[in-house]
């Protein structure tokens, strides 16, 4: 009677060893040869789920969500400050594919921070930036620059409201010189006012008003004059580019 060879029900030892080496589920701290360490969840030998990564060389720590080996979801990035030997927050918010993506707050210093929308590690969308100088910008951003509609409030309470392009005042906008009690309204090109009107505004409450108020100027058709000036400024800008 011939002997029938039955197929093996178990996997080859090499494959079993490979599967055992694959990290999955919750693990204690795993150290890398470069000194980095990770504590948290794994899936198919990749950081996946909740976990904390410490980079030995930079002293940075990330605590939050991971997806297929990359920071993805909600998390906080901190960095060790050598002067105080304490960790300070660098960024807290949303991540995607190892980049800041969505809504989050980046801390540039103890007094400077940005809170708002991010796209691929850059400030893009709507957000508020507080500077070390005390100035505050609130408005639209594009590729890490002020771009679109926004308001810049200076530390001395003077403010600009209007359009921005590539980080500079461009297009229609108003600048409130509250320390002088004046208001400029008109057209801007690369942070320079090109065509507009200046009137007294809150002169009685101003800290340093000019000696004399602005005299009233009568123009038959103010709108036409402004439109002509804006057209000239726009034409000049196009010629330069």
pLDDT at 155: 97
Antiparallel, parallel or unpaired: β 136-142 and 145-153: antiparallel
Q: What is the pLDDT of residues 59-100, one digit of tens each?
A: 999 999 999 999 999 999 999 988 888 999 999 999 999 999
SS in 3 state form for 5-65?
Answer: CCCCCCCCHHHHHHHHHCCCEEEEEEECCCCCEEEEEEECCEEEEEEEEECCCCCEEEEEE
Q: Which of 23-32, 124-133, 190-199 has the lowest mean pLDDT?
A: 23-32
Provide the mean pLDDT of the chain. Answer: 87
> Per-residue pLDDT for 16 more than 70?
no
pLDDT at 203: 82
If pLDDT is split at 50, 70 and 90, which confidence band does 206 have? confident
> Per-residue pLDDT for 8 more than 70?
no
Q: What is the pLDDT of residues 128-138, one digit of tens each?
A: 999 999 999 99
If pLDDT is split at 50, 70 and 90, which confidence band does 224 have? confident
């Amino acid at each position: 009677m011939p002997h029938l060879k039955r197929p093996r029900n178990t996997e080859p030892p090499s494959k079993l060893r490979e599967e055992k080496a694959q990290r999955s589920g919750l693990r204690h701290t795993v150290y890398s040869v470069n000194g980095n360490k990770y504590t948290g969840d794994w899936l198919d030998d990749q950081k996946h789920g909740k976990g904390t990564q410490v980079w030995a060389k930079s002293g940075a720590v990330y605590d939050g969500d991971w997806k297929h080996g990359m920071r993805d979801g909600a998390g906080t990035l901190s960095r060790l400050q050598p002067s105080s030997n304490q960790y300070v927050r660098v960024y807290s918010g949303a991540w995607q594919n190892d980049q800041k993506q969505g809504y989050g707050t980046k801390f540039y210093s103890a007094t400077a921070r940005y809170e708002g929308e991010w796209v691929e590690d850059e400030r893009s969308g709507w957000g508020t930036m507080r500077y070390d100088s005390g100035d505050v910008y609130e408005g639209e951003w594009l590729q890490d620059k002020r771009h679109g509609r926004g308001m810049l409030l200076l530390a001395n309470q003077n403010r600009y409201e209007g359009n921005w392009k590539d980080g500079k005042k461009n297009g229609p906008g108003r600048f409130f010189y509250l320390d002088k009690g004046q208001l400029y309204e008109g057209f801007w090109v690369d942070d320079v006012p090109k065509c507009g009107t200046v009137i007294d505004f809150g002169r009685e409450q101003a800290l340093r008003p000019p000696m004399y108020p602005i005299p009233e100027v009568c123009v038959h058709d103010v709108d036409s004059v402004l439109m002509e000036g804006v057209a000239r400024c726009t034409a000049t800008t196009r010629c330069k580019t």
